[in-house]
Amino acid sequence: MTTTAGIFEDPISPEELGHAEISPSGEFEAGSYQTFTLTYTCGKFGIDDSGSLRVVFRFAADQTRPQFDDPKGPNFTTVTASNNAVLEYRYDPKGNIRPWDRTLYVKVVRGFMKKGDTITIVFGDTSQGSPGMRMQTFCEDTFEFRMLVDPIATFNYQQLPKQPMIKLIPGPVDRWVAVCPTSRSVGDPFRLSIKAEDKWGNPTNRADQTLKLRASKPVNELPDEIKFPAGVLATHIEKLSVDEAGDVDIELLDEAGTLLCRANALRIVENASLQPFWGDMHGQSEETIGTNSARDYFEFARDCAFVDVAGHQGNDFQITKDFWNTLNNLTAEFDEPGRFVTLPGYEWSGNTALGGDRNVYYMTDDRPIRRSSHALVDDKSDIDTDCNTAAVLFESLREDDENVVCFAHCGGRYADVKLAHDGIVERSMEIHSSWGTFEWLVHDAFEMGYRVGIVGNSDGHKGRPGASYPGAAHFGAIGGLTCLLMPELTRAAVFDCLRKRRHYATTGGRLVMDVQAIFDDEGKIYHEDPALGARDSQQSQSAMMGDIVHLPSGGVSLNVDVLASAPIERLDIFNGLDHVETIRPYTQEELGNRIRVIWEGAEYRGRFRQVIWDGSATFSGTKIERHSAINFFNRDKTIDRVGDDTLKWRALTTGNIGGFDAWLADSKGGSLKLDTPLVQLDLPMGGIGYEDHVSDAGGLDRGIRVFRLPEENSHRAMRVERRLELKDIGDNPLFVRVTQEDGHLAWSSPIYVYR
């Protein structure tokens, strides 16, 4: 019988396998450097000549890798046998069955071991100068040094019945975060949520501080100060309201009056039929390939990430019948209309050649799971319900239940929407997650004539849905969010919103975005795609994001209203694949001595899409007065000044953007010499201006852009009206992309206008 520990039924009883102990044990700060001694004591059979053991860690784990050659380097690891048997050892990040695939392999190559003999592994051996083992950067109650043993040298590994484990806890306060709704009507109650995070993005209970609160206009029931005590991860101020329309800033300060943070953008309107609610609908827990339990997952999303909507999306080929039942019970338990909405569902994880990854969401908690395979599910009694291709999946979902919605996304596998798509079921493309940014996914949909919305989610594996930071692993981006425009916070309203594509996506920031098309003549407005059959419509001279519009005559104006949480760098308007215009909130006359360098893109669509941008920039003939990093999320990736005129950095992208700003003493003369693995530039400073200087680097939208910015940009709001030319044949998918100076992006779902 196949098992997750080996190939055949366990040949040795668990009590005969021996045991392992970890020292020290207890609680340790996530991301800190530590030394651990892991001791395995052989059981009844010992370990025969050529037998071996594995110490395995989860896929998501991002602690430093064991290494054996540099005694002064991080995680120098030593391995010894008590009887002096000769051991061979190596580290392989894909050396075991997922999710426990990060593997230290230890083999007895000369001699053998008997009962009571020990193998001792020291992770982060500091005796010769190593700083130790840097721990996983995210919190986990049960971080295991999981041990599998092959005592009889059959290559049939069995798990020890009791695994060594420790607890990873948050570090000290690095920054404060305040979250409120992005928009509410005059007089409507809302909540302000506050937390402190450590340097790796973990909410920390190590704050003990009195906080002052300040608002740009009167906010009812907002106290002047609050006590944030030690031991709590978050606090909430309820029943706030504002009595007049306008934009409101709420700031958090320390007792001395120093600004700690500003809450996200908040716009108060007279009366809105639709309100924005924020969701992260895609992530996993430890029962599949993530971290911490599914219960912890929903609690974090609600209580620590402050999202309104959450969905759990475990890999289908790892979801057992029992876990599927557990998930459905949890989504039913946590779903609380008006406060927090949960979406039942799973990730259909088919190979790319069969259609690639899709997210499946149900309205109710009692629906069947249709897996892409039973690859890691031992119980094959329901294998006849599998859907091995995306096309079969869509067909089956339509037969099962009308109350189902799918997204296409790119994770390890990517969705091939040109191979398979069903507009009745698959309503949106997920173009940003922790894996990176994937605008090409919606471009594929445009090329095929599909009418889809745009979403962003985390696809997080680190137990932090809604606030998913990349840590120190190969993930290169903060997880995304989707803003859902709805009349109320209920599961039915969420599904109606997703079907109508009334939402926009961000790379994790929260901002106000309103996009409307205004027509000279009335058009027919559809919510369901009329290309897929007869559909109801209504006459109107305006449309919002997600609408499908038949406009027989007359022109169109696109009205865009944005209130961002950071200064706006630019707003781009698109008609499908065509870039219509870039609009900046500042003029050429406002430009100063600030130079921005942006790198972006991916190697290709597949799993190993990471692009390394390690390099340097030298500004000859001037002095760097200060600099600021853009999207250096991974604390292992740094940018530093060398001398007066040079910056050096380590950086990566996975489809997203990164870069830096440099404020110079004088930027009129001299030159910028840029050196990266893919792009080398030598630009005269006088030639760097309002428009981008673009250097293409091949791959998937890889390249570097250099341009000039104002010394300080105060523009957080933009209102734009543009008259657009429409194509007479085919769709005109009208949408915008907003880029904030802090590196966050947002995309509206398209308005589809056709003649």
Q: What does the pLDDT average to over 281-292? A: 96
Asked if residue 633 is part of any domain, the answer here is yes
Q: What is the pLDDT of residue 447?
A: 97
What CATH number is associated with residue 435? 3.20.20.140
The pLDDT, as a whole number, for residue 633 is: 87
Do 316 and 462 fall within a single domain?
yes
Same-domain check for residues 405 and 380 = yes
Distance of CA 253 to the CA centre of its chain: 28
Q: Which domain holds residue 686?
A: 589-712
The residue count of the chain comes to 755
User: 412 pLDDT exceeds 90?
Assistant: no
By the 8 A CB rule, do 233 and 173 touch?
no
> Residue 10 — pLDDT band, cuts 50, 70, 90?
low
Q: Which of 510, 528, 543 is the last residue of a domain?
A: 510
| Model pTM score | 0.95
Domain endpoint, select from 459, 481, 510: 510
Which tens digit of pLDDT belongs to each residue from 591-650?
Answer: 999 999 999 999 999 888 999 999 999 999 999 999 999 999 888 899 999 999 999 999
Residue 398: strand, helix, or coil: helix
| Residue 8 covered by a domain | no
Together in a domain, 185 and 145:
no
Same-domain status, 337 and 368: yes
- Same domain assignment for residues 456 and 478: yes
For position 130, which CATH number holds? 2.60.40
Indicate if the pLDDT at residue 2 is higher than 50.
Answer: no
* pLDDT for res 5: 43
Indicate if the pLDDT at residue 432 is higher than 70. Answer: yes
For residue 634, the model assigns a pLDDT of 84
Residue 336 sits in the same domain as residue 463: yes
Mean pLDDT of 440-449: 98
Q: Which residues contact 57 (CB under 8 A, 6 or more apart)?
A: 63, 100, 102, 103, 144, 145, 146
Is 550 a residue whose pLDDT tops 50? yes
Average pLDDT (673-679) is 97
**Per residue in 14-55, pLDDT tens?**
889 999 999 999 999 999 999 999 999 999 999 999 999 999
pLDDT tens profile 698-742: 999 999 999 999 999 999 999 999 999 999 999 999 999 999 999
User: Which CATH number belongs to the domain containing residue 732 in this structure?
Assistant: 2.60.40.10
Distance CA 497, CA 271 (A): 19
Mean of pLDDT values over 140-169: 96
For residue 5, is it within any domain?
no
DSSP-based three-state secondary structure for 394: helix
Q: How far apart are CA 684 and CA 671, in angstroms?
A: 4
Whole-number Å distance between alpha carbons of 560 and 748: 10
**Total domains in the fold of the chain:** 5
Q: Flag whether pLDDT at 473 surpasses 80.
A: no
Going by C-alpha positions, the residue among 713, 677, 666, 682 that lies closest to residue 599 is 677
pLDDT computed for residue 8 by the predictor: 52
289 and 143 fall within a common domain: no
Q: Domain check: are 457 and 516 in the same one? A: no
Specify if 47 maps to a domain: yes
**pLDDT for residue 3:** 45
pLDDT in tens, 200-233: 999 999 999 999 999 999 999 999 999 999 999 9
Same domain, 285 and 249: no
Question: Tokens 């910015």 belong to which residue?
Answer: 709
pLDDT at 560 over 70: yes
SS3 (DSSP) at 660:
strand
Q: What pLDDT, on a 0 to 100 scale, did the predictor assign at position 1?
A: 39
pLDDT of residue 399: 86
Strand ranges for 440-552 from DSSP E: 453-456, 481-486, 503-506, 512-526, 538-544, 548-550
Residue 410 lies inside a defined structural domain of this protein: yes
Q: Is residue 7 part of a domain?
A: no
Residues 614 and 525 in one domain: no
What's the N-to-C CA distance of the chain in angstroms?
A: 60
pLDDT tens figures, 297-309: 999 999 999 999 9
- Report the pLDDT averaged over residues 497-518: 98
Are 208 and 353 contained in the same domain? Answer: no
What average pLDDT score do residues 90-116 get? 96
Same domain as 549, residue 516: yes
Residue 6 located in a structural domain: no
Query: Given a cut of 70, is residue 9 above it in pLDDT?
Result: no
Task: Answer whether residue 563 is part of any domain.
Answer: yes
